[in-house]
Amino acid sequence: MLTDEFGREVTGVRVSLTDRCNFDCVYCHNEGLGDTRGPMDPQDDEMSADDVVRFLEVAAEFDVDAVKFTGGEPMLRQDLEEIIERTPDGMEVSLTTNGTFLPGRAEALVDAGLERVNVSQDALDPEDFAAVTKSGAYEKVLEGVEAALEAGLDPVKLNMVVFEHTAGYVPEMVDHVAANDGLQLQLIEYMPELTGKPEWNVDIERVHDWLAERADEIEHREMHDRRRYWVSDGSSGADDVGSNAAGRGMVEIVDPVENPTFCANCHRVRVTHEGYLKGCLNRNDDLKPMGEMTKPEIRDAFREVVADRVPYYGEYMVRNDDGEWEINEKYLEEYAGA
Ligand SMILES: Nc1nc2c(ncn2[C@@H]2O[C@H](COP(=O)(O)OP(=O)(O)OP(=O)(O)O)[C@@H](O)[C@H]2O)c(=O)[nH]1
Ligand code: SF4
Ligand code: SF4
């Protein structure tokens, strides 16, 4: 297992398979790389299935035991089943998707080896949903969630970005996952530093406080030191505490913004759809192109990326005397040269 200078073991990889998407969400940061492209745009810059598998085989040699496939919309890749099928044994496979292509395809993904899925769903009302995603595919997403549950994906996490447009929907979304068997909710802090609209920000601590009142059990997940709140809709019994049965639900908060604790517990490296390895979502000055690399070269690139990893908040970005975040002087030269 590879460990960076800050003691963070690398146990997971996030692999973007495309930057194309059939949605145009107002908060999209495309894995820290900016705008997504339309679904029909050229795809010649995307890693091939062989490229992805070669990288995953190297990651497995370093004891990476989990891969998350993301996009853009990863289900636009027609070879997704093949990629999952060829993922090394013993690596947990999960997927983050907008859900629209799950109907009719969820079972094939499970047969290929997919274990769990995160589906973006920011609202329970079609018009509210359309305002955020600029898509009229709300019904398709619901069908997608249903198809994922039927195919046995467990859990099915609903991803909701909490910002000005959606903050008011949090209580009903929490009730929704509590009432529905197999669903969990992941509340994601809006990232103004990647999307450029600070005025849409809401204070995520208020959401924590509200959930702490509502929850009957609170857990800490080691990854990112995320907090998980177990909630009940009142219909479950004492035996259901800690379970995801109907009447019980789990709500996890992903709060990376200006959060050194989150970064201190970050165990993933990333790969862009073009095959660049990078150590941090928020940095694009540390890219290592894997392009035509052989396995020994990928091994070296992986070691280098891990060796260069630094926690973004608290090390790469530090607070100045006025309490504002700025790039740590010791990385300024490196950054300027990128
Ligand atoms: N800054 C930062 N944000 C992250 C990181 N991981 C996830 N996020 C944010 O969380 C969002 C949702 O991530 P997902 O891909 O659904 O899943 P996840 O929470 O990372 O992973 P699981 O909980 O294991 O399924 C991403 O789009 C990012 O905005 C991270 O390491 N750093
Ligand atoms: S579904 Fe995901 S990748 Fe597509 S536009 Fe929305 S946030 Fe971006
Ligand atoms: S170091 Fe921080 S910002 Fe960078 S990927 Fe990890 S958690 Fe995200």
In ligand 2, which atom is closest to the CA atom of 96? 2
Whether the CB-CB separation of 109 and 151 falls below 8 Å is answered with yes
DSSP one-letter code for 51: H
Query: What is the pLDDT, as a whole number, of residue 31?
Result: 82
- Residue 25 assigned as binding residue: yes
112 C-alpha to ligand 1 centroid (Å): 23
Say yes or no: CB of residue 121 within 6 Å of ligand 1.
no
Whether the CB-CB separation of 181 and 148 falls below 8 Å is answered with no
- Residue 206 assigned as binding residue: no
- Residue 77 assigned as binding residue: no
In ligand 2, which atom is closest to the CA atom of 21? 4
263 C-alpha to ligand 3 centroid (Å): 5
Query: What is the pLDDT, as a whole number, of residue 244?
Result: 63
* Selection from 166, 143, 136 nearest residue 27 by Cα: 166
- CATH for 2-310, options being 3.20.20.70, 3.40.1000.10, 3.40.50.720, 1.10.3720.10: 3.20.20.70
5 C-alpha to ligand 2 centroid (Å): 33
Q: What is the percent of the chain where pLDDT is above 70?
A: 95
- Residue 266 assigned as binding residue: yes
Would you tell me the crossing angle of helices 138-150 and 126-133 to the nearest 10 degrees?
A: 100
Query: What is the pLDDT, as a whole number, of residue 86?
Result: 98
Say yes or no: CB of residue 203 within 6 Å of ligand 2.
no
Measured in residues, the chain has a length of 338
- Our mutation pick for probing the ligand 1 site, out of 27, 188, 193, 250, counting the most ligand atoms within 8 A of Cβ, is 188
> Encoding tokens for residue 32?
């820290």
Contacts 24+ apart (CB under 8 A), 40-48: 43/18, 45/273, 45/274, 46/17, 46/18, 46/77, 46/273, 46/274, 47/17, 47/271, 47/273, 47/274, 47/275, 47/290
User: For 317, phi and psi rounded to 5 degrees?
Assistant: -105, 130
Whether the CB-CB separation of 10 and 2 falls below 8 Å is answered with yes
- Each residue of 243-285: pLDDT tens digit? 666 678 999 999 999 999 999 999 999 999 999 999 999 998 8
Beta-carbon contacts of residue 94 (< 8 Å; ≥ 6 apart)? 66, 67, 68, 69, 114, 115, 116, 117, 118
- Each residue of 55-93: pLDDT tens digit? 999 999 999 999 999 999 999 999 999 999 999 999 999
- Each residue of 152-166: pLDDT tens digit? 999 999 999 999 999
- Closest residue to atom 6 of ligand 2, CA basis: 25
Say yes or no: CB of residue 68 within 6 Å of ligand 1.
yes
273 C-alpha to ligand 3 centroid (Å): 18
Say yes or no: CB of residue 190 within 6 Å of ligand 2.
no
Whether the CB-CB separation of 56 and 88 falls below 8 Å is answered with yes
